[in-house]
Structure formats: structure tokens, C-alpha cells
Structure 1
Amino acid sequence: MPGTVGRVPTPSAPVSGAPTASDAAALVLHHPWAQTPLGPPEAWDPALRAVIDLMLGSPVPMALSYGDDLVLVYNDGYAELIGGKHPAAFGRPSAEVFGELWALPGVGDVVGRVYRLGEPFLEKETTLPVSRTGTGTVEQAVFTRGYSAVRDSGGDIVGVLTVAAETTQVTEQLQSLSELASALSGTLTLDDVARVALRSALTSFDADQVGFAVDDGPGWRAVRRVRGELLDEADERLPPLWRRWPADAGTPMTVAAETGRPSFTPDGQPLLATAVDRHDQKVRAVAALPLRTSSLRGALTVAYREAHPWTAAERALLAASAELVAQAAERARRFENQHGTAQLLQRSMLPEHLPDLPRLRVAARYDPGVDGNAAGGDFYDAFLMPDGGLGIVLGDVAGHDVQAAARMGQVRAALRALALSQSQPDAVLTGLDRLVGSLGAEGRTDELFVTVVFGVIEPDRELMTLSSAGHPAPLLRRCSADGDPVAEYLEIPTGPPLGLGGTRTSTSVPFSPGDTLLLYSDGVIERRRQSLAAGLTDLAAAVAGAASGDPRALCAVATAAVAGATEDDVAVLAVEHVLTPSRSASMEVPAEPTAPSRVRHWMSAQLAAWQVPEQVIGAAVLCTSELTTNALLHAGTAARVEIDLSPERLLVSVADSGTRGTVTRAQTDTLSSRGRGLGLIEELSDAWGTDPTVRGSTVWFEMLIPGG
């Protein structure tokens, strides 16, 4: 730098080589210094001139507080920090410039102490408002500030140099690491971990593309997110779109997952050889971090479409993020294995198919409680009686473990056997009581309690007969005289739970066309810090206010009727006595790219033949096409579409029967239409829901028929 401030130069040229004008340098050149404690520039001490030259040539925010009044001289970076106080602050005492702020602890007193004692001071972190150049916005930025004494050629202290280094990005990234850890702590499945990891990596590193992969048999399955990809709330509820990669795929992701070594490519075409689309082709820089635990291998990738030098800080942050994701993925895999075993045991003891009768529609739903890692004792069943009636049962065996599930299976099987030989519900429960008592004695436990409600429905007689053993009262939805539905709890004598002896009684209740009966477990109505009466009231109100009495829709309504989470399992069974027999049809859908088109043509023709209104056909076909696409994308196996039409409503369901991820890449590209997803179903249907089954899941929707 030149030796005299009278010839103040422009700051050092930027990396581009083009010189840049400096506002602060111009102020130094033209300021009337003779009227300030610094005096005329030609009289400045050489050491002072050197400090000012250094300050003006630096892109880092710097300020010199000179003399007893701590008069301010600063560069352009510091001018940006003080915003509107510039340029009036130039050459004025610091106490005047900053006013009340200067008197706060840790501000003026720090500068004054360094000036008096000459001891440097480092302020590790402080938050300051910054006016960003070009945007006009004021942001809260994080800085580390250092204070050093400035001495003249004779060694006397003549001022204090303040250097402020912005650490906002580092602070934000550390904050994002904390937020990532918090978000991962709430994940249960690998789908959950993938969503959290991809969302965090995309925002924390301001990346163009991120990926997540885990081992899957001999190969890998991976999922990615791309900047600008539209995901609505409904899409977030769907499983991520996993792709399968062979063991020798050779991508940076799979290589890192296989070898356990990270890789950082600052520039090139690292994904070109294995690109699946234009997004991969445009990637120039990619970091691949391995995910390694005792039972899981995988990788996390972050990519950019421009060259990107991977700094040491970024590499450390990526490594820390990958470690958190790996631990969460291992927990999720362990949970999925245990959860899958427990739920398979649970569901294998429940009926896979319910009876299909001309005048009765039957639906059921089972949801595990908050701790879905354990099997429970809730159960339901519906079966044909020898005399042509329909036997229905819903019960709850105390406990949430494998033993409870096993006992549930025994009780359900015994009840069906007793019912097939003795049709009176009270007699069936009396016999079942002896069995439960015997099981308790055999297990040497006094804690085997079973609540159950069992009934027989005779549609020809428009009658149902029910008996209860300590179970919540059944709920009946009826059509009132004015046409508005009402829901009322049936007054059925509630005997003691099974296994405690006691007398059982049966009660007969009219069950007319248009009525729907709902049986439910206590997990539907019980919530912490809420009375049971409030839960019963909410359930009755929700059932009465449902769009129709369709059993599948009422099961969905019932499970969501009471606000708040339940820690218990939830089971519901609904039976509707239909006014008019419905018409139904079904189609097996192969996992092929043309399947959605075939479903659309088949369904359009079928509904037109049934003379369904055109506006309903259009909406129903569109929704069914979406559900079929999602089933093929996320289950990867053949699906089954079922339509059921009654005078008042159309019910459509799409069931898959496998696990996600086996659709090929070509099929994925052809079928991809996730942008609308379940949001479209919500908008066009009157009710919709998802039902887990023994093998896979079912998504359904209901549309009311105008004038039906």
C-alpha cells in the first residue's frame, strides 16, 4: 500500500481482477480531518497510516476508533454493518454515533478497556442488524468481533481496531444440525428418515439435488429430492419414491455406501454415466457421505449444478449430518423389523376378507396405538351364521405384547366356533367366559381380562341381537323422520369382562334399511386428560354428521372423531343395512406402465353402463387413475380396483399387496404424476381414507350421487 493517506488508493482488486471503487476510501480522502482529533492527514503517524490503508483494502468489516473520543474511521464492510448511520458516522466519536447502544455492557466498555489497557479482546458471537446490499432488507447476522490496540511509531496506544467476521452461515448450519437431530428423533421408519434427511440437506446446504440410499438385499434402494420439486402436503404423506440400484451401479452414492469412504467432486460430470434424467446430467459437483452402522449401509449425497469447492467446514458438517442420519436409519430399520413382525402377527389373526352380502355392507379398520412396535389384543370379526344371519364381534384382550395377540387369536377362534354351534349371543359369551377363565388358570394369572360385544344380524327380519361383556356400548346411526341422520348408543346390559364369571344377557334391537351399526374399542374414545363422556359425545357427533352411512367411510370417521393421540390400539367394525342392493365390479391391475390408462377406460365404460352422472364419472375416473398410479409407484406390485355403486354414493378402492420400490425406472418415468396426489382426492371426493391390510394397504374414496 502507498505510504501516505493523501494518495489513498482504491482497495485491492477482487478475484476477477477488475478494480472496485471504495466509498470509504473516498471519505478518507475528502474528510476534513484537521477539524478532528486525528488532525490533517499529512501529519498522521506512519503506523496509523498503515493501519488505515490495511483497513480500507480489506473486504472484512473493520473500524478504527481513534483517540480519547474514539473517533470512527471504517471501511465499506463496516459501513454495511452500521447501515443508516453511514456516512454521518465517519469522523465522529463512537459514543455519539451509537448513542444508548454504546452504554450497554459489552459494547463501549469493551472498546474503552482495550484502549486503556492495550489487552486484545475476542467477542466470539454477537447478533447485529445488517442492511444487505442490493436487496434493501435488514437481516439479523451473526458476527465474531476482535478488538486490538493500535499503537503509533512510539509504541503509545492511539486507538482500537475492531475486526468483525460474519459467521452467520456457520451459525445457521450448526443450527440446522441441531434441528436435524431433533427432527430425526421423531422418525420411526426409513421413509420418515428419508423425508427428514433430504429436506434438511436441501435447505441446510442450499443444494440443487440431494439423495439418500440404504442397502436392500444385494443392492440398494435410493430416493432423492431436487430443488424446486413441488411437494404438497398430500405428497408428503405418501411413501418416498424409491429407486432400486444394483450392487455394482457405480454411482458416487453407491460407491460411498459400498466402501464406507466419502468422496467430494468439486467439478465435472460425476453422474453422467449413470444419469436417470436431465437433473443428474446437469450435476457438476457432488459430495457422497457413507452411512455406516452395525446393521446398515447407505449414503447421503449433496449435489450442485455449478462447480463447488468443498470447504473443510462443509465437509465436517456433512460428516456430522451423515452420522446423525445413519443412527436414525438404523433405529428405523430395527423398528420396522420389530413393528412388521408384531403387526404381521396381529393382522394374521384378523380376517383378511369380510363377508360380501346383498343387503349388508361390512367394513372394519385396525390401527396400532402410539407404540406400534408391539402387538395388541384388539380384534374384530364378521362371518355368516348357519341360519343365514351375520355374526359380528369386536373385542379387546388386555395387554400389548405377543402374548396378548396370541390370546386374542385364541379368543377370536373360540368365539367363532361357539357361534357356529350356538346362535344366541349370551350363550356364546357364557361359553367364552369359561374358556378365558381356563386360559387364565393355565397361565397362572389373574390379569387376563377380555371385553367383547357379540351380535347376530338378521337382515330379513330387520333385527339384530347383541350381548356385551364389559365393552363400550354399540353406536347406531339411523335416518330420522326429517331425513337428518342421528346417532345413538344402544342400551345393552353390560356384564363383567370375560374371565370373571357373571350373567350374560342378550338384547334385540330393530335394524332397518338405512341403519349402520358401529362397534369400536376403547382406544377410539379414550384420551388423556379428557373424560370418557366427552369422547363418547365426539364420536356420536362425528358419526351423525358423516356424509353417508357407508361402513368404510364411518370407520375412517370414527377413528378420527376424538381429537388427540391415543396410546391404545383402535379397532372399529361397521355394518350397514342398505336401502337398495349395490352393484359392484373389480379389476386386477398389473404393474405395467399402461395400467392407469386401462383402468380409466374400464371404469369409464362401467360407470357409463350403470348410468352414473357424467360429472361423477369424470371426477371418479381421475381420482382412481391417481390412486392406481400411486399404488404402482409405491407398492410395486399388482393392484386391485373395486367399485361399488348404490343409489346414494359411489365407493372406489385401490388395494396393493406388496412393498414399495420394485417398479422399474422406465415404469416410474411413465407413471409419475405425483404432483396432484391425494390432494386431488381430498378436493373431489366427499370422503376418503387409507386402510392397512394383512398384505399391503387400501386407499378408498366416496362420492355422493346427486339426487341419490
Structure 2
Amino acid sequence: MVGMGSPSAATMAARDGGTAPRTPDCARLVAEHPWDTTSLGPMESWDPVVRATVEVVLSSPVPMALAYGDDYLLLYNDAYAEVIGPKHPGALGRPAADVFGDLWQAPGVGGVIDDVYRSGQSFLEAEAQVAVPRDGQVEQASFTRGHSVVRDRHGSVVGVLTVAAETTQVTRRLQSLGELTARLASTLTIDDVARVVLAYAMASFDVDHCVFAVDDGAGFRYVRRIRGEMVDEVDERLPPLWKRIGNDPAFPLAVAAQSGRPSFLPDGSPLAKVATDRHERRIRALAAMPLRTPSLHGALTMGYRSAHTWLPAERALLYAAAELVAQAAERARRFEAQHGTAQLLQRSMLPEHLPELDRFRIAARYDVGVDGNAAGGDFYDAFELGDGRLAMVLGDVAGHDVRAAAVMGQVRAALRALALTDPAPQTVLAGLDRLVGSLGAESRNEEIFVTVVYGVLDQADGTITLGSAGHPPPVLRRAGQGRASAQLVAVPPGAPLGLGGSWRTTTVRLEPGDTILMFSDGVVERRGRPLSAGLDDLVRAAAAAASGDPRNLCALATAAVAGRTDDDVAVLAVERAVAQSRSATMQVPAEPTGPSRVRQWMTTRLREWAVPEPVIGAAILCTSELTTNALLHAGTPAQVHIDLSAERLLVSVADTGTRGSVTRARTETLSSRGRGLGLIEELSDTWGTDPTVRGSTVWFEMLIPQAEKG
């Protein structure tokens, strides 16, 4: 319709590096049109001003249209013809109302032209939403339109000239800037910020190359996205793959970050000196925006493979986006520092290694709550006593701060000392009760709330003597004959520590294949749900588990109850093995040959143990992926541990990357790139990740088919 406009097909084709398609030749069509049958009359009799106006319209690269006479006869140029699409060329020389039908009567369409024509007053529409046919569909586009009257040589109004400029892209970028603000507000880590920024740049500016960088020691670390790169839902769940560069002035991002000044290159070879692949060598236009805050220096660069003029409006959007990104990155860096300190404190108070026993397998897991920025009071421990029995405990100090973590550390240390002297649950709980009461009195705070479930396992017969100080009872999973079951252990309830209570005990026996699971209340408590519902969910999940393997049960327990918890989560599981398992461990050096050494070592061991070949092949493939991932992302040697029992093969790969940096942590997702996650999920029966004091462990379990046990 009159006043619409869009980028020309030639412009878009040039942007993509292709050949411009042939555009409508409106000048020829105007010359050939039978104007003598219209209100304009033969061309040779046209008013000189009208003729001059038509010549301006036809020669302009901007969408322009002339609505002539009382019936608004249409004359327009090639750019306008592209906008109206299939209505061209039939619209040429016809009344606008006939061309656009009912749409002409819509608000802001024909009425605007009529008002200008009748009043003789020009009118500027700052922004109008117009339906535009494109690629066989109709989409809403934004336009700025100027309407002015056309007078003949006698000064009479004979028509309305409309000049249109499409602002759809600018409008959408402004909208996406609002969306960027909202998404950045929910980011916690630098990884989160990087994902949001790269997605924003690719979608909003349609760039071919984007880099987000932040300072890292004497240099910078950066992550990039390029046009055509395969990014799916799996990739978005994984930490970005960061690379590092020094403070090299050949890098535009380093110059922008250090100087604090943006740069805009419309055409050239900005990355020629530092290009690492053909994608960077092809970049011709580049904008480098500094990201500067009191505690962070970085840069955001966007590039195109073709020449690109950085218009003032586009630069203004980039300035605004860079400011938002810089503030979000600074917040994320502060969070990471606080989070890392809190979690390093938390995990340093937990046992770094659990006992390795002949007939019992032990596993534990600790997950931070929603507020991962604070230390908590959940704790677990398991250690051998002097007479060969095993002491095991899981407790919870109320609170999510350094004080709660400090109390937790004192309670855990005191429990060890008490248990090594006299491990009887009544004695240990009584001693802890006196300690907590003393701590409360010293701090003049009577609100120290500590719960504990503590047990002593006799490895000779599998009996466990349990006592509870206000803590949820453990879950006992019975392997049974072909079908597992689970139930809560009926531990006599006792008062929380520090209240001067008394405690009774109960005894349960683990038969071969049985597992006992201790847990903190964060596992089962959810807002708006009764505690009994959460306990029921946990019991059902334990009964339905594919095996009683303690590591598997710990992973299942943390996800057994639907919904999020604000609390930390700690679980400890002990399984009595059906038969003594066979295990082996390999230290893998941080070098390219590491994965191949692991494959050869595992093949030899598993074949010696008569593991079925299909299981061997799948296990080696998964282990190779995990080892590669550990060496790549942690940058430290890895440890591969295999444990084979009669019913399952358990493989774990541990790295020793620092836990103080959230950007290096992989506690929630498997960080192997591309196919790794899919392989583990497809080939294993279950898998998970476990954080440790000085790294993280990724593990998977494969069940041994009953008919093929070795």
C-alpha cells in the first residue's frame, strides 16, 4: 500500500554475497502503460510538476509512491514494487482503493492519504505497523512514512507523495534489547552471561561472527559464535568452550578492552593477523565494544563477512547492549567469587575420600540449594573404627551461612573423636548434645538447631545400629528375589542436639544386595507439600531403582521429589555387595595420548574379567568421551576407576580442577561437547556427576545382562 517500504532484494543479495536478483522495471512499465485511459491522461499532456515528481519517484532507491487525483491513482518505483509483491504490476495506474480493497479502509492507511490530500498539510508518521507480503506470507513490519502534497504548476493539490523507510529491524532490535536486559538479570555466572550475549548478537544483529571476552590474569579468555555453527539444546546446557589469548594489540577485542574505546570498521581485514580459521579470515566488517567496570575489563565484537556501514542508530544500540553486558558480567564475577569461597569452605569440611571396603560399597553426594552463594550446614561422613566396624553419619545444621558451616565442622570433628573412643550411638549422640548446648551458650544463641542420624555397621554380618537426633529416618532398599522393595527404617525418634534429650537405637541387617540411604531434609521437603509426600516419593524411587548401587541411589535421591528446594541436599548410601567386586584405577596424564591409553587399559581389564563384549564396547566409548572431556576442560590429570560386580559395571572419571571457580565446575551437566552427552545417555543405564573437594567426578553404570554374567 502507499507508504510501505523494505530493504531491496539487491541489498539483501549483496549482504549474503550472492548475485542480486532482477528487480521490477517500473520505469519501463510506466512508459508503456496506457495512461490515456486514466485520469492522468496521455504522458505527453502531463503537468510538468507531475512529470518531474514521477521522474523523482522512479529514480529513487527508497520506496516511493504517488497517489494521483481524487481516486489516488498509483505510480511507484522498483523499491515500492518489491514491498507490495504479487500486487505488482497490476497495481500500477489503478486507484489505491481498488488495489488494496478492505485494507485501504483500515486505520492509518487510506485515511492518512485522504487527510493530507484534503488538507494540503504534510504529515510524518514516526512509526506505523503495516502488513507486508513476504515469501508467501504476511508479516507485520514497522515503517516511518512521510506524506506530502503534490501541486501542479497552478498550485492546486493533485496528489500525495509518500516516502517510506522501513524501521522493522531497528524496532525489533530495541525490543530485543529489552529482552536482553531481562535475560541478563537472571544470569549468575560468566558462562550464563556468555550464552545470553552470543544468542542475542546472532539473533538481533544477524552477524556472521561474535566474540565475548573478559579479562583473565594478564590476558583474556573468550568464547565465540559463528554463522552456521550447530547449536542445539544440548550445547546450550553445556559450559561454553573458552579459549585464551594474551594482551596482544593485534586482537581488536584486546585493544577495545584495554583502551575502553569502541571501534567500527566498515570494510577491511580486521582479523587477518590473528585469524585461527577460515571463518575469521573472511570477516570484513567488525565492531569492537569495550566492556568496562571497576572490576572487569572485556570486549564484545560483532563481525560481518561483507562490507557493512555501522549507522548511528546501530552504534547506539551496541553502546547500550555493551553497557548492559558489562554490568551483568561484573555481577556474575562477584557471584562466582562468593560462590567459590562458600563452596570451597563447605566441601573442605566434608570427607575428601570415603572408605573402600571389600564387601560394602559407599557413595555420597552434596548439592547446594537455590542460593549457591552461601555455605550450608548439611554434612555426611563415613570412617572405619579401630575394631573394623564402619561409622556413618548424616546431619543438618540449620542455616545457610558461614556460621552454620562452622558449627557443622565442629560437630563433624567432635563426632569422629567421640566415635573413635566409644562408637555406641547413645554415647556419641549424648556427647554431641553437650557440645551443641555449649556452643549455644557461648554464643548466647539458643537457636542452634542440629539434627543427626548416626549408625555403626558391623562388616562381619551387615548389622547396623542406628540412632537419630531429630533427623528423618534412612531408607532401606531390599534387593529381594527378583523384585526390589524399599521402606523407611523405624528409628526411635529423639530430640535434636543441644536440648538435653535421650536416645534409643534400632538395629537393621543388610543382606547381600541391600542398600541403606541416609539423607538430609532438603531431599524430601518442598513448599506446599507435606513431608510425608516427599518421603513416599523417595521410597518409591529407591524401590524402582535399576540397582542398589550407592552412587546410583544418591543421584536418584536428589531428583526423587519433584520441584525445587531452597535447602542444601546431602545423601549417603551404603550397599552390601552380593559378591566382592573387582576394581582397578588408572591415572591419566593431561596429554593427547591419555584417552587412547585408557581405551587400551580398559579393554585389557574388562576382557580379563570376562565382561560381555557389547558392554565392553559401550563402556570404552563412554569412558573415552569422559576422559577427553576431563582433560580438555579441567586441564589436569584425570583418574579413571572401574568397579565390576556380578550385576553391574561402574565407571567413574574424576578430574582435579579447582572447585573454587564456578566456570570450571561441572556439577550439574556433562560438559563434553557435541555427541558426548547423547552417548552417555544412550549407552548407559544411569549416569551422574558428583562434586568433590578438589574437582568433580562423572560416572556411569551399565547393568550386566543376567544371561551373560561373566
> TM-score if structure 2 supplies the norm length?
0.91
Paired residue secondary structure (1:461) = coil
Runs (4 or more) in structure 1 with deviation over 6 Å come to 13-21
Distance 1:100 1:550, change over 3 A: same
Q: Name the residue aligned to 1:604.
A: 603
Once the two structures are superposed, what CA deviation does each residue of 1:495-526 show, in whole Å capped at 9, x if it has no partner? Answer: 22222233311111121111111111111122
Q: Name the residue aligned to 2:383.
A: 383
Q: Distance in 2 between matches of 1:309 and 1:91?
A: 36
User: Is 1:335 paired with 2:342?
Assistant: no
Q: Distance in 1 between matches of 2:343 and 2:539?
A: 29
Residue type at the aligned position of 1:208? D
Q: Name the residue aligned to 2:352.
A: 352
Q: Distance in 2 between matches of 1:320 and 1:347?
A: 40
Paired residue secondary structure (1:273) = coil
Q: Name the residue aligned to 1:8.
A: none
Instruction: Check the 8 A contact 1:634/1:661 in 2, yes or no.
Output: no
Once the two structures are superposed, what CA deviation does each residue of 1:97-121 show, in whole Å capped at 9, x if it has no partner? Answer: 3333333332232222212222222
Further displaced range: 311-320 or 646-655: 311-320
Aligned length: 685
Q: Distance in 2 between matches of 1:50 and 1:447?
A: 90
CA displacement at 1:661 relative to structure 2? 14
Q: Distance in 1 between matches of 2:614 and 2:161?
A: 75
CA displacement at 1:26 relative to structure 2? 4.0
Paired residue secondary structure (2:597) = helix
CA displacement at 1:62 relative to structure 2? 2.2
Residue type at the aligned position of 1:50? A
Residue type at the aligned position of 1:590? P
Q: Distance in 2 between matches of 1:94 and 1:182?
A: 43
Q: Name the residue aligned to 2:363.
A: 363
Once the two structures are superposed, what CA deviation does each residue of 1:335-394 show, in whole Å capped at 9, x if it has no partner? Answer: 011011111111111111111111111111111111111111111111112332211111
Residue type at the aligned position of 1:105? P
Q: CA RMSD in A?
A: 2.6
Once the two structures are superposed, what CA deviation does each residue of 1:419-456 show, in whole Å capped at 9, x if it has no partner? Answer: 22222213322221221111111111121111211111
Paired residue secondary structure (2:525) = coil
Instruction: Check the 8 A contact 1:72/1:94 in 2, yes or no.
Output: yes
Q: Distance in 2 between matches of 1:526 and 1:490?
A: 18
Distance 1:605 1:230, change over 3 A: farther
Q: Distance in 1 between matches of 2:220 and 2:365?
A: 34
Instruction: Check the 8 A contact 1:242/1:660 in 2, yes or no.
Output: no
Paired residue secondary structure (1:65) = strand
Further displaced range: 39-48 or 591-600: 39-48
Q: Name the residue aligned to 1:665.
A: none
- The structure 1 residue matched to 2:82, chosen from 80, 83, 86, is 80
Q: Distance in 1 between matches of 2:585 and 2:451?
A: 37
Q: Name the residue aligned to 1:524.
A: 523
Q: Distance in 2 between matches of 1:231 and 1:623?
A: 22
Q: Name the residue aligned to 1:473.
A: 473
CA displacement at 1:305 relative to structure 2? 3.3
Instruction: Check the 8 A contact 1:469/1:497 in 2, yes or no.
Output: yes
Q: Distance in 2 between matches of 1:91 and 1:280?
A: 50
Residue type at the aligned position of 1:528? R
CA displacement at 1:559 relative to structure 2? 0.9
Q: Name the residue aligned to 2:112.
A: 110
Residue type at the aligned position of 2:30? V
Q: Which runs of 5+ in 1 are unaligned?
A: 1-10, 663-671
Distance 1:655 1:455, change over 3 A: same
User: Is 1:571 paired with 2:570?
Assistant: yes
CA displacement at 1:297 relative to structure 2? 0.8
Q: Distance in 2 between matches of 1:104 and 1:267?
A: 44
Q: Distance in 2 between matches of 1:680 and 1:158?
A: 72
Q: Distance in 1 between matches of 2:311 and 2:186?
A: 31
Instruction: Check the 8 A contact 2:24/2:81 in 1, yes or no.
Output: no
User: Is 1:326 paired with 2:326?
Assistant: yes
Further displaced range: 171-180 or 690-699: 171-180
Q: Distance in 1 between matches of 2:593 and 2:632?
A: 13
Paired residue secondary structure (1:509) = strand
Instruction: Check the 8 A contact 2:377/2:398 in 1, yes or no.
Output: yes
Q: Name the residue aligned to 1:55.
A: 57
User: Is 1:39 paired with 2:41?
Assistant: yes
Percent identity, please: 68
Instruction: Check the 8 A contact 2:208/2:227 in 1, yes or no.
Output: yes
Residue type at the aligned position of 1:330? E
Q: Distance in 2 between matches of 1:583 and 1:157?
A: 98
CA displacement at 1:22 relative to structure 2? 4.1
Once the two structures are superposed, what CA deviation does each residue of 1:65-103 show, in whole Å capped at 9, x if it has no partner? Answer: 222333333333333333344444333333343333333
Matches for 1:373-452 after TM superposition, within 5 Å? 373-452=373-452
Instruction: Check the 8 A contact 2:474/2:517 in 1, yes or no.
Output: yes
Further displaced range: 536-545 or 505-514: 536-545
CA displacement at 1:191 relative to structure 2? 1.6
Q: Distance in 2 between matches of 1:675 and 1:316?
A: 36
Q: Name the residue aligned to 2:535.
A: 536
Residue type at the aligned position of 1:229? E
User: Is 1:515 paired with 2:514?
Assistant: yes
Paired residue secondary structure (1:193) = helix
Q: Name the residue aligned to 2:69.
A: 67
Distance 1:603 1:686, change over 3 A: same
> TM-score if structure 1 supplies the norm length?
0.91
CA displacement at 1:20 relative to structure 2? 7.0
Residue type at the aligned position of 1:230? M
Q: Name the residue aligned to 2:129.
A: 127
Paired residue secondary structure (1:272) = coil
Once the two structures are superposed, what CA deviation does each residue of 1:235-291 show, in whole Å capped at 9, x if it has no partner? Answer: 433332222222346322222222222233333333333333343333333322211
Q: Name the residue aligned to 2:204.
A: 204
Once the two structures are superposed, what CA deviation does each residue of 1:475-495 show, in whole Å capped at 9, x if it has no partner? Answer: 1111234x1222211222222
CA displacement at 1:630 relative to structure 2? 1.0
